[in-house]
């Protein structure tokens, strides 16, 4: 029986329920792209009408492919830096810590105070998993990482930066590069054409930041370097159905991607 009622969340914040629902539904498929037993548990606890989310089921595979790639990059980071720090920006009800925890990582989840209130009701903080209730654009949250000086840090921004204005994204990236030189950042990126012709222009949460060339970010602060790019259609994926044909149209195949940057060089 559901034990938690959704309250105090505006329409934008409620979008955090989309990925957790998709993860829960996917986990029950025999051919699941990912399995997340914690997401199944969370959806069972929530007293919420998911009918609106169910209408977005055509987007489920894209959500899951993106999530799987973010997980892979987190695993790769921890393989190289087992005692590293990962900061999940706009974490919502993400359970990535539970999925990739290597027993050593120091993890921080950041989201708006009202979102973090719900997260604390449903998920448990641990000695290595910390919750921060703050806007990502209120840079005071960075003080929580002051004790991690000298450690390797990875910032994950899944389905978050694209919904900010470009000036705010640039200001945030510059602040991260200045405060945490040598850190890494992984985020999604949309081409400007996707932002301009978004299929749901009236949606509460719609993309606002478009990136024409992934190397443009390198000019935002000294030392920023593009490390890698990932595209949805790089490899065949049967679950994409006819959309797989997009991989043969180079421009279309690369308008949505995940980009990985190093934010300058570490001091010393």
Q: In this structure, what CATH number is given to the domain that contains residue 192?
A: 3.40.50.150
Does residue 67 fall inside a structural domain? yes
Q: Which two tokens stand for residue 154?
A: 């990875």
- Winning range, highest mean pLDDT, from 53-57, 168-172, 194-198, 230-234: 168-172
Which whole number is the average pLDDT over 64-71? 95
**Residue 202 pLDDT > 60, yes or no?**
no
Does residue 186 fall inside a structural domain? yes
Distance between CA atoms of residues 193 and 181, nearest Å? 32
Average pLDDT, the chain: 91
pTM of the predicted model, to two decimals?
0.93
Question: Which one, of 38, 2, 9, lies nearest residue 117 by Cα?
Answer: 9
Which whole number is the average pLDDT over 168-186? 97
pLDDT band at 203, cuts 50/70/90? low
**Residue 151 pLDDT > 90, yes or no?**
yes
Does residue 13 fall inside a structural domain? no
Residue with tokens 């810590």: 97
Number of domains the chain is built from: 1
pLDDT of residue 130: 97
Does residue 178 fall inside a structural domain? yes
* Secondary structure in 3-state letters for the chain: CCCEECCCCCCCHHHHHHHHHHHHHHCCCCCCCCCCHHHHHHHHHEECCCHHHHCCHHHHHHHHHHHHHHHHHHHHHHHHCCCCEEEEECCCCCCHHHHHCCCCCEEEEEECHHHHHHHHHHCCCECCEEEEECCCCCHHHHHHHHHHCCCCEEEEECCCHHHCCHHHHHHHHHHHHHHCCCEEEEEEEECHHHHHCCCCCCCCCCCCCCCCCHHHHHHHCCCEEEEEEEECCCCCCHHHHHHHHHHHCHHHHCCEEEEEEEECCCCC
Instruction: Decide if 154 contacts 166 (C-beta within 8 A).
Output: no
Task: Classify residue 88 by burial, with Cβ atoms within 10 Å: 0-12, 13-18, 19+.
Answer: buried
For 34-60, write each residue's pLDDT tens digit.
Answer: 899 999 999 999 888 888 888 878 788
Does residue 54 fall inside a structural domain? no
For 93-108, write each residue's pLDDT tens digit.
Answer: 999 999 999 999 999 9
pLDDT of residue 267: 67
pLDDT of residue 72: 97
Which whole number is the average pLDDT over 203-232? 92
pLDDT band at 175, cuts 50/70/90? very high
Angle CA 13–16–20, to nearest 5 = 160
Domain coverage including residue 191: 61-263
Q: Which two tokens stand for residue 20?
A: 């957790």
Does residue 127 fall inside a structural domain? yes
Does residue 41 fall inside a structural domain? no
Alpha-carbon torsion 141, 142, 148, 154, what sign?
positive
Angle CA 194–197–200, to nearest 5 = 100
Question: What residues does 89 pair with on adjacent strands?
Answer: 110
Distance between CA atoms of residues 42 and 97, nearest Å? 15
pLDDT of residue 204: 57
Of the listed ranges 5-9, 118-122, 216-220, the one predicted with least confidence: 5-9
Classify 93 in phi/psi space as left (phi over 0), alpha (psi -120 to 50) or beta.
Answer: alpha
Does residue 12 fall inside a structural domain? no
């Amino acid at each position: 029986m559901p034990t938690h009622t959704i309250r105090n969340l505006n329409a934008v914040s409620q979008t955090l329920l989309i990925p957790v629902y998709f993860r829960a539904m996917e986990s029950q498929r025999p051919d699941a792209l990912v399995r997340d037993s914690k997401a199944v548990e969370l959806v069972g606890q929530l007293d919420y009408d998911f009918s609106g989310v169910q209408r977005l089921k055509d987007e489920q595979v894209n959500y899951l492919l993106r999530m799987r790639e973010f997980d892979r990059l987190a695993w790769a980071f921890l393989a190289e830096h087992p005692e590293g720090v990962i900061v999940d920006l706009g974490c919502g009800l993400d359970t990535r810590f539970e999925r990739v925890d290597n027993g050593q990582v120091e993890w921080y989840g950041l989201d708006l105070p009202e979102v973090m209130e719900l997260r604390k009701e449903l998920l448990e903080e641990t000695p290595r998993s910390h919750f921060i209730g703050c806007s990502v654009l209120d840079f005071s949250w960075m003080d929580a990482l002051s004790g991690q000086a000298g450690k390797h840090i990875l910032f994950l921004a899944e389905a978050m930066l694209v919904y900010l204005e470009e000036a705010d994204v640039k200001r945030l990236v510059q602040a991260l590069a200045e405060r945490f030189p040598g850190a890494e950042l992984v985020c999604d990126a949309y081409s400007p054409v996707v932002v301009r012709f978004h299929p749901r222009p009236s949606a509460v949460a719609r993309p606002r930041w478009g990136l024409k060339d992934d190397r443009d970010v390198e000019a935002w602060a000294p030392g920023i370097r593009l490390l890698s790019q990932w595209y949805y259609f790089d490899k065949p994926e049967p679950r994409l159905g006819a959309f797989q044909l997009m991989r043969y149209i180079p421009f279309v195949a690369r308008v949505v991607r995940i980009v990985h940057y190093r934010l300058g060089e570490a001091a010393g």
